[in-house]
Amino acid sequence: MAEALVRRAETAGSPAVVLTVDAIVEGNWETLARMRRTDTRQCRDCHGRTFRDFLAHRPNFDGLDLTAVKRLNRTDMNWVFVNRLRDSVKGKLLLKGILTQEDAVLATKAGIDAIIVSNHGGRFGDNGRATIDALPEIVEAVGGQMPVLIDSGFRRGTDVVKALALGARAICVGRPYLWGLAAFGQSGVERVLDILRRETHAAMQQLGAPSLHDITPAMVGHA
């Protein structure tokens, strides 16, 4: 199934595939459980009565044999699976959810093209370090052999500049653009990104950094 989805993404023109490696089981989402009890709508009206019905409503599974699929996530995912996927993906392969230097080294050895330092905003791992704290050791571990991206909790341009100063090549934006989309559609997303750009530019001006290359680790204070 994973290989079939990879082929479909590549056929659609995607130059990269991102594998999430740290969300292999469902979390104990207490707020969701409480809200479900107050929601009288029937999920099966939209999603079907079975898990396979749910998948059948998602276009990326069109034409695939779903008879053997019981869940979307692999609870036994390991580096053997990652290596097999690396051999299958023709384009770039990124790993999302790396938070330690040990895993960063293993990703380098596996021929991964980039790492996304992520804890999904705490949705799956709310008892660990912030990604900004894990970033420096991961950048050091890969030694420039691959780009290191980061997400989780980036809400301001000043957050973006801090991550760039600590070695991140790019910052991924999750919830802010979803909030903009929910409120105002495409124009909301564009406005969120515009705010982040303007704040980033202003922070760089305050620091005296005329370009991204001028942002250095010395610009970030450590407690």
Contacts of residue 28, Cβ cutoff 8 Å, sequence gap at least 6: none
182-206 exposure pattern, b = at least 16 Cβ within 10 A, e = fewer: eeeeeebbeebeeebeebbeebbee
Contact 46, 102 (CB under 8 A): no
Q: Are 33 and 114 in contact (CB under 8 A)?
A: no
Contact assessment for residue 191 and residue 152, using Cβ atoms and an 8 Å cutoff: no
Q: What share of the chain in percent tops pLDDT 90? A: 65
Q: Which residues of the chain have pLDDT under 70?
A: 124-126, 222-223
**Cα–Cα distance measured from residue 37 to residue 56, given in angstroms and rounded to the nearest whole number:** 26
- If one counts every other C-beta atom within 10 angstroms of the C-beta of residue 125, the result is 18
CA–CA dist 126, 149 (Å, integer): 20
Which residue in the list 57, 120, 201, 222 is annotated as catalytic? 120
* Cα–Cα distance for residue pair 104/152, rounded to 1 Å: 18
Q: Please check whether residue 170 is in contact with residue 149, taking contact to mean a CB–CB distance below 8 angstroms.
A: yes
- All CATH 3.20.20.70 domain ranges in the chain, comma separated: 2-25+77-218
One-letter amino acid of 103? D
Tell me the residue type at 183. A
CATH level 3 topology of 2-25+77-218: TIM Barrel (3.20.20)
pTM listed for this prediction: 0.88
Asked if 100 and 129 touch (Cβ cutoff 8 Å), the reply is: no
Pick from 74, 75, 78, 126: nearest CA to 103: 78
Whether 120 sits among the annotated catalytic residues: the reply is yes
Look-up: residue for tokens 């691959």? 146
